[in-house]
Amino acid sequence: MPPLELVDLKRQYAVIGAELQAALDDVIQKSDFILGEAVTRFERHFARFVGTQHAVGVASGTAAIWLILRALGIGPGDEVITVANTFIATVEPVVLVGARPVFVDIDPHTYTIDPRRIEAAITPRTRAILPVHLFGQCADMTAIMEIARRHDLVVVEDAAQAHGARHGERLAGSMGIAGAFSFYPGKNLGAFGDAGAVTTHDEALAARIERLRNHGRSQKHVHQEIGSGERLDSLQAAVLDVKLNYLDRWNAARRHWAGRYSELLRDVPGITIPTVGPAATHVFHLYVIRCPRRDALQAFLHERGIRTGIHYPLPLHRQPALQNVAFTAHDLTATEQAAGELLSLPMFPELTDEDVQYVAATIREFVTQR
Ligand SMILES: *Cc1c(COP(=O)(O)O)cnc(C)c1O
């Protein structure tokens, strides 16, 4: 039997491959590759899905964050409050625009930014809060928006793992000044390569980002400012527009499998199942358990044909890339603990009950054997 992957995209392609091929062929037949019809259509549909006035298709999730910060005029001398247990793409743009990342700790149960830590980290230079809706669960946006309002800060949502996740009634990417989405292939909504989007209610911000993604171009041959080539291409947009129709179903399937895992693992000693916050609708981009003997458990599962992941073994403040960069790290105790104990189990909509039962039984075997 082939191993059970952390994410198996082949199972998805087996179901909707023909539909995707037709959408790709349509773009190719029309040679409509750059900022074409498919991009405009997907932007309209994605904005409607998230519940914002605008969505701007861009080249990646990293580009989305970078363009938002640039369009907001965040740069040298400014500070951005965020977390260290995330993919490095959350802070690369902060550093690239010349601002200073300020890391605060996470809530030890939800693994998202702990709002109680934010206020103490605010200085006269703070411009923005950049929460990450990690693993498919929104950060506590009620508390974060309230702090931002009191201190006149903007909130930029890193929604790269949270397509369709809710905080109360609001969707990820619709609560702050802007949301950044990644459509990296393994995300809940994934392209056939790199792709991303910015969502916002702010018309001027959307227009600025549209210009920045396309070489600062205001009209043909006129470039108003130095931008970049960070467009979403039509082929990716065509793929995403087809897949968007399935996203709610896929997220429901992810929640179903998460529920099954939690049922089967709830009483296993030494294993902590994910905590869903009171206002959150979690979309389980990843199903992440906690285990003090994480590395041994991962090896045990690997030997039995189960692939897992670690998100993230090396927090950003310990990354070599950050060592020559000016940043502030507040107390990060919960972040450090999570880095040593979290383990991501196979999670994708096309899992079967046999898959989930096998993973859970193998974890139980690991715990009881010694
Ligand atoms: C995937 C991801 C990104 C970056 O997205 P890319 O499309 O790979 O550039 C940013 N932040 C988080 C939390 C992510 O998971």
pLDDT in tens, 64-97: 999 999 999 999 999 999 999 999 999 999 999 9
Establish whether residue 281 lines the binding site of ligand 1, counting it when its CB lies within 6 angstroms of any ligand atom.
no
Cα 164–Cα 133–Cα 14 angle in degrees, nearest 5: 45
Contact between 241 and 41 (Cβ < 8 Å): yes
Establish whether residue 162 lines the binding site of ligand 1, counting it when its CB lies within 6 angstroms of any ligand atom.
no
- pLDDT the model gives residue 369: 85
Average pLDDT for residues 142-171, to the nearest whole number? 98
What is d(CA 80, CA 155) in angstroms, rounded to the nearest whole number?
A: 10
Longest dimension (CA), the chain: 70
Average pLDDT for residues 324-342, to the nearest whole number? 98
- pLDDT the model gives residue 54: 98
Residue nearest to atom 6 of ligand 1 (CA): 61
Note the pLDDT tens digit of each residue in 217-233. Answer: 999 999 999 999 999 99
Q: Is the pLDDT of residue 268 over 80?
A: yes
Strand-pairing partners, residue 23, are none
Expressed in angstroms and rounded, the spacing between residue 294 Cα and the centre of ligand 1 is: 24
What is d(CA 106, CA 135) in angstroms, rounded to the nearest whole number?
A: 13
Expressed in angstroms and rounded, the spacing between residue 61 Cα and the centre of ligand 1 is: 5
Confidence grade of residue 370 (pLDDT, cut at 50, 70, 90) = low
Expressed in angstroms and rounded, the spacing between residue 134 Cα and the centre of ligand 1 is: 11
Q: Which atom of ligand 1 is nearest to the CA of 65?
A: 10
pLDDT cut 90: percent of the chain above it: 99
Residue 111: closest CA among 273, 224, 353: 273
Average pLDDT for residues 232-239, to the nearest whole number? 98
Confidence grade of residue 203 (pLDDT, cut at 50, 70, 90) = very high
Note the pLDDT tens digit of each residue in 289-309. Answer: 999 999 999 999 999 999 999
Expressed in angstroms and rounded, the spacing between residue 230 Cα and the centre of ligand 1 is: 15
Expressed in angstroms and rounded, the spacing between residue 65 Cα and the centre of ligand 1 is: 9
What is d(CA 5, CA 308) in angstroms, rounded to the nearest whole number?
A: 7
**Cα within 13 Å of Cα(275), Cβ side:** 12
168 phi and psi, to 5 degrees?
Answer: 60, -125
Sequence-distant (6+) residues with CB within 8 A of 219 are none
pTM, two decimal places = 0.98
- pLDDT the model gives residue 333: 98
Q: Which atom of ligand 1 is nearest to the CA of 183?
A: 7
Strand-pairing partners, residue 113, are 106
The count of other CB atoms within 10 Å of the CB of residue 140 is 22
Tokens representing 302? Answer: 């690997």
Tokens representing 191? Answer: 């392209």
Computed on alpha carbons and rounded to an integer, the radius of gyration of the chain in Å comes to 21
Q: Is the pLDDT of residue 198 over 70?
A: yes
Establish whether residue 140 lines the binding site of ligand 1, counting it when its CB lies within 6 angstroms of any ligand atom.
no
Fill in the DSSP letter of residue 362. H
pLDDT cut 70: percent of the chain above it: 100
Average pLDDT for residues 110-127, to the nearest whole number? 98
Confidence grade of residue 1 (pLDDT, cut at 50, 70, 90) = confident
Contact between 167 and 283 (Cβ < 8 Å): no
What is d(CA 204, CA 71) in angstroms, rounded to the nearest whole number?
A: 9
Average pLDDT for residues 274-296, to the nearest whole number? 97
Amino acid, res. 328: T
Average pLDDT for residues 21-44, to the nearest whole number? 97
200 phi and psi, to 5 degrees?
Answer: -165, 155
What is d(CA 358, CA 106) in angstroms, rounded to the nearest whole number?
A: 31
Give CA torsion, residues 79, 85, 89, 93, to 10 deg. 0
Expressed in angstroms and rounded, the spacing between residue 176 Cα and the centre of ligand 1 is: 18
